Chain A
């Protein structure tokens, strides 16, 4: 076996230029694959992070039936004990009680339908990044009951600015008209149009009072310590929390579209993987086949001396494996180092900011190097390099020695 490995290795060094071209093809192919996977993984992580950092947290807890029909009447009464239980759960980082209602926001010039969120300013800061996205102006304060934060686009549509007075009209829980005047304390600029155009934030207590809800709330937004555990933790909470009247949904179930988009994106990546694999396969096939055809006479001699088919196939396969291994190592270095570099430096896509924001992405994408994807990429490339060597190896093994020796 050692002699066959030796022959394979020396054949690689015999035509250094061609071997280097193949190694480069494998290296850049694998490097590109690892980088693309890291980029998409980073983008997905950012999408999920941003998506769960605004209104949809990792897990939302409602009264049963709220997800199907989101009305003010389907609310959680006296949520104190439930909030205390949740706070004791070591998997939960923070919780924020909210009131959520539809309403009409009017300025002196115009009015618009809005989604009203009553939030506890202190608790909301630990669950969402809404407070960080207020510019210009400031986020709500716990003791303020006449302040409001509204979406930046909404403010533009209503032609209002900081300090201006706006009026909210809606229907309270008891059927009475809920109406109140508030001063704009800050403008919400998340970049996500559906929030900036249609969401207003009020202090929780003021909202409860406006809608005559006592201490009732519409939902509890839960931020987990490990975002990826949203589904199992939500299911576990649903099983173990005492009240059977709760509806506990992970973010994937709150809005299946985001999960579907990510799944679609992951499926699309496989098309890129296949294209890269084809390029790598053609690169290796070209080199190995050329190498075999060029050495037809030598294979003829080996066969004439008594080398059997399996030994010839092994010789060609070792050659491909070595090219694949060195190419993979190069690819691993290229892909990992570029991914790691950009994971801190970020990739500036500010040219596409508005499109990116619509998909909950920022102007900078930070690739995330995922060991699983790296392993899959290496296995795919190595596997491809072995598979494409089958034909050249079979061709070499089945040469007729007498004809092969005569060839030049």
Chain B
């Protein structure tokens, strides 16, 4: 893996303001705001797949949008090859857009229903001047081959395709501009399992062939585990744990990652548990508790967790977690002592 990260995210925060109600004004309270991202830092290396996993409201989609600059963070910086992307202007910004592409969850909403597949791809190719005009039809055929769509797909409209095929069109469009990085936000969530597997296989193959860097954002732990080299687990706008996929799933170092893992339905009917993985529910993102955001649901909680927010600290090489119990998940004996 290359030492210089292709993307580095440094202390990024993003808030969305709620309406400032009259009652709150009169009471002299500050306006409510959802802290979608709260001091998020990580790095993405060239050629790897970074999975970002979390439940609804954890800020994973906001993060994905910040990465491609569909949203500008309120604090912190995102650097692409060392340059802060918020400083990029006109031509530079277009070049950045070309090199970092996003694929969206909803294949119905992200394709123009009035454009044929060849028009969709043609637009991407000509806006970024990827090919001379005459070469475009050949390139479209090439792209369709790449995502395994039939050649006659070019003249058809999005509604004529199934969900899985539409997701392939989205992938072809993103690949048209020959990006270095692809950010996939819940790429396969809307698809049936058998079709999900097809798209995942396609993604794995394309990554090998084209040496893509992939940021795979999803709520399905099984998918993220399957596709990622490294995984970041998010909760209420923060990274709770980040590390190599194998070690993170083999021995999670944060109680939330463990709960998420325990709750994910596994395909083994002989390993059943009747113990609930995490009690309670997500606190309101408008009113995040001052200490650890997971404190209200954690079965290992102690006093310090409720007042002091744990920082993301190193557990092993490449593996960090944000928990006061630094020994959590390290060894069974150490765990028992800590609780």
Report if A and B associate in a common complex.
no
Give me the interface of B with A, judged by CB distance under 8 Å: none
